[in-house]
Amino acid sequence: MKKITIVDYGSGNVLSAQKSFIKIAKDNNIEVDVLISNKLDDVKNSTHIVLPGQGAFSTCMNGLKKTDGLIDELSEFALIKKKPFLGICVGMQMLAKVSEENGAHKGLGWIDGQIKVLPGDSLKLPHMGWNLVNPKNSKYNNLIMTKNDYYFVHSYYFDCANKDNILAETKYGTNFASIVGKENIYGVQFHPEKSSSQGLDLLKEFIGV
């Protein structure tokens, strides 16, 4: 049975994400255990991890650090055991080495790159609403991506050092990475849990339904 843990560190849209995975399980008649937790044993025993995020980068990173051993356990899960890991919105941004939001702040550093403010003096921030996601690679490992609209709320973007880590792009002032990936680790700048049926389809691909 698949065991999905949505990491609860005080700064994520955890309930909406949980409801999305529960709906996927019900619609596909499969057994999935969907937890909202920051317990190390729950992370260790999971088949899939989802790291959501809302608010400022530094606040989210500090939230992870408040639970002793949580970052180490997540690193073991994603980097050593190489199990499927998904970051959503700021959860995606925390995969980077550093963020320039409100000063310089260190991220997890799992995917090389920096988090920068969306460029453009006349650009309305945050970038909020539906926008087109254009896959640069229609399939990456077990994740099949299709050109579609998804729901965004953000002012910063992931500037990948290695362009091979950019799986899809979206245009808002500039072309920015809206899906990143490295081996078993994925990140989406948009909110699939708020993106109707296409968002659910992407989450289904992530858990291999």
pLDDT in tens, 105-133: 999 999 999 999 999 888 899 999 999 99
105 in catalytic set = no
pLDDT in tens, 132-162: 999 997 677 767 778 899 999 999 999 999 9
> How long, in residues, is the chain?
209
CATH number of the domain where residue 9 is located: 3.40.50.880
127 in catalytic set = no
Give me the catalytic one of 48, 89, 101, 105: 89
Phi and psi of 127, rounded to 5°? Answer: -70, 110
Q: For residue 82, what are the domain limits?
A: 2-207
pLDDT at position 209 over 70: no
Q: What is the mean pLDDT of residues 84-100?
A: 97
Q: How many CA atoms lie within 13 A of 16 on its CB side?
A: 16
Task: State both tokens at 180.
Answer: 């990143």
Task: State both tokens at 37.
Answer: 């937790």
pTM: 0.96
48 in catalytic set = no
Domain count, the chain: 1
Instruction: Identify whether the C-beta of residue 35 lies closer than 8 Å to the C-beta of residue 42.
Output: yes
Give me the catalytic one of 48, 105, 127, 191: 191
Give the separation between CA 129 and CA 125, rounded to whole angstroms.
11
Burial class (CB in 10 A: 0-12, 13-18, 19+), 25: buried
